[in-house]
A and B are shown apart, each in its own frame.
Chain A
């Protein structure tokens, strides 16, 4: 069900009325609610709302409810810079979250930097994002850290000559380079690299090309929607290669869209519903209850970010200066994706995500039992 702004604000405001009409603390969000990336904006909202339900339900931060002001940018740089000016000149806003894609996020960075408003890009894995200024922070998993983990799992699965398919965007390119750097040290030789265009749906020729290099496995650096398409078409064309996909494929949609075509695929994930950590158990249970679906890595990232924001407000004061000082200092923030979050003050990023390997079995993600695929 689409959540309207009104129900959202009402939901956020209710506990406040119950206690006392305290001034809310507001995070500005710049992201896509319409346009081609709107699905990711919708996932963000689910993550944010779930986190706020918990935070505001428990009385907010020092009696003040937390709200967010989601400004639609369509992830378009022309609109994200206007949104940035709007948010920096709004005295209620103490932190900015987003934008989604690099062109929109990084075009707005100079404005946030000048206004000394923290721009917290929780999906921005572009290595230069946090170099835009000392107020650009990100808890997005770094590809430099993630890809060696994926490569290790590829080696454990017995891949010696994998073919790599990646989304040909800044994200996919960063991921590919990091994987390629890690592969030789693990005894793997990547035999084919295919960068495909965003919004592509037909991968059959690409797969023939990959097949002709005689790989022993496919590695997908894709988002869940294209990952599912590739895996399906791999099976449709009769290729029996084992498939390993990166964390952004961890989504119930991967299975929904892939169907039998993703059965048996391996997907690396930073979290997993069966994870015994209390943060994960709580997050997954409440997410299922509220939305009647499984969470994915995008909603988990948004959830983590809102939890972090509440903690920053609580410990360092709900001011712009408080956010910047807090990010430099904060430690041990509970997180679904990372064990505990702390930022490296030099890179303004988070290290130490935990990576698990899952497998699609009977149309469900289960933890990989350790058996390598039969040599194909």
Chain B
């Protein structure tokens, strides 16, 4: 169960924080673009799911 050090050091370690920030930024930007591209009525339908007065008409009509 010994963890062996396979590498002496990581070359270019300084790029890690930058890479992390880029990964985060691109992912976050993607999610934001998606969220704001959603249609208004879709959003209304989704947000009403927990409320009891919500009727599941959208699914019913395609049965």
Q: Do A and B come from one complex?
A: no
By a beta-carbon cutoff of 8 Å, the part of chain A in contact with chain B is none
